[in-house]
Amino acid sequence: MKISIAGYSVHGLLSEGTIDIFGYLESCRYRFGLDAADIWNGLLPTLENGFIRKVRHGLEERELTLVNYHADGCHVWEDDAAARAKNRALAFEHLQVAAALGAKTVRIDTGGKLEKMSAEQLEIVSDQFREYCVFGQEHGFAVGPETHWGISLLADNMEEIAKTVAHPAYGILLHIGHWEQGDPDEGDRRLAPYAVHTHVDAKITRTCLFEKMLLLLDAGYTGYWGVEHHSKQNEYAEIAVQLAMVRKVLSQRLWERQRGENLDAASVRGGNPLLTAEQEGRA
């Protein structure tokens, strides 16, 4: 199943000093039985090349695919041009790290405030993401923002950026249901075509997981489901609960699809849906 654990989910353990990036990778593979990692840059104490090579080796020896690398601290928009330039330079450092780690998708935030973008913001943010996408395409990954904070919490802004960037390597990290204005279902539905990765938080898991996942699946989403936990408390157990719920929805969806295919085939034959065509011939 396409499931990952967002690295931020263990930030409580990280702050306690009881986990590091290698413990996170070990947990993904052996505690939770996953084939994917979803690295938050807060788990990386340095971006130094030698250390990043060790992380790449850690991924490879555990046979983990890095389905997303999410980088905080290098968001695109700041009111001050010098701050934007500083963030841009850091963003390219993170893009180099993502390439070295073999990431499939990369999240860099939009920045800004929770308001409709100005024409200047749209131009600068879109141009910057298009530049990141050129790099991403050259290195085999998609790049885009998350519905996370600031500008990105308005569906109108996110849709406008996506349409303006208009690059094949552009894709968003859809933090499901995370919108500040308007209908969250409508926001998810509108941005689903641009989603290359997701974050599923505990609130969604507890209240409307089945409906939300079906909304995206019905819209054609084929990426990974990134379980994300935020409480900093009892994280291993809380993550396990969220993982189990996501697995349950995906299992049910697969079961329904298989059952539907069997019933469709049976209706064509006009026979018992529990019998194969060969068995029906012998019945």
Q: What domains are defined for the chain?
A: 3-282 (3.20.20.150)
**H/E run at residue 226:** strand 225-227
- pLDDT on residue 261: 59
- pLDDT on residue 254: 76
pLDDT tens column, 186-236: 999 999 999 999 999 999 999 999 999 999 999 999 999 999 999 999 999
The residues, ordered by sequence, that sit 6+ positions from 280 with a Cβ below 8 Å of its Cβ are 269, 271, 272
Give the chain's residues under pLDDT 50. 263-283
Which stretches of the chain are DSSP H helices? 11-16, 21-26, 49-61, 81-101, 119-139, 155-165, 184-191, 202-207, 209-218, 235-269, 277-282
Handedness of CA 126, 145, 71, 217 (dihedral sign): negative
Structural contact between residues 38 and 106, judged by C-beta atoms closer than 8 angstroms: no
Can you give the pTM of this predicted structure?
0.89
Tokens for 6, please give them: 């967002």
- pLDDT on residue 77: 98
- pLDDT on residue 279: 34
Q: What are phi and psi of 102, to 5 degrees?
A: 75, 30
